[in-house]
């Protein structure tokens, strides 16, 4: 199993449980590991045969701007489902951090894994 990585992707979204948070956008930082087999793309040097991290990053930014959730957990779960469905990703690990949510922490957040890991060969 190979993995395409997207690290520290910053997106702006409405997120939070407090009333004041519902009136502003806040920054989330995302790390993704996306399972795929890169061998066909590597053999042919053809981006259509792998996960296009630019297209995925654009989709994530659009998802963040189009939705607002109270919980980082909900954002993470729905985004993971969207990516798996739209890009045919069999397994992913998604970490979502919310910087500044707790004054004494650099960030808080969640890390989820969804799907079935393809067998390592």
- From 84, 93, 97, 98, the catalytic residue: 98
Q: How far apart are CA 40 and CA 95, in angstroms?
A: 27
98 is catalytic: yes
Using an 8 Å Cβ cutoff, are 10 and 29 in contact? Answer: yes
Core vs surface per residue 71-106: b (16+ CB within 10 A) or e: ebeebbbebbeebbeebebebbbbbbbbeebeeeee
In contact, 92 and 33? CB cutoff 8 Å: yes
- Helix (H), strand (E) at residue 77: helix 72-87
Supply 55's token pair.
Answer: 């297209």
Would you please indicate which residues are annotated as catalytic (active-site) residues? 98
């Amino acid at each position: 199993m190979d993995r395409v990585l997207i690290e520290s992707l910053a997106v702006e979204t409405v997120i939070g449980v407090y009333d004041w948070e519902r009136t502003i956008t806040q920054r989330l930082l995302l790390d993704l590991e996306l399972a795929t087999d890169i061998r066909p793309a590597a053999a042919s040097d053809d981006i259509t045969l792998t996960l296009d991290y630019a297209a995925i990053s654009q989709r994530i930014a659009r998802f963040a701007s189009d939705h607002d959730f109270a919980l980082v957990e909900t954002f993470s779960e729905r985004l993971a489902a969207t990516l798996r469905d739209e890009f045919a990703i069999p397994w992913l690990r998604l970490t979502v951090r919310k910087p500044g949510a707790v004054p004494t922490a650099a960030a808080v957040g969640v890390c989820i894994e969804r799907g079935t890991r393809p067998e390592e060969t």
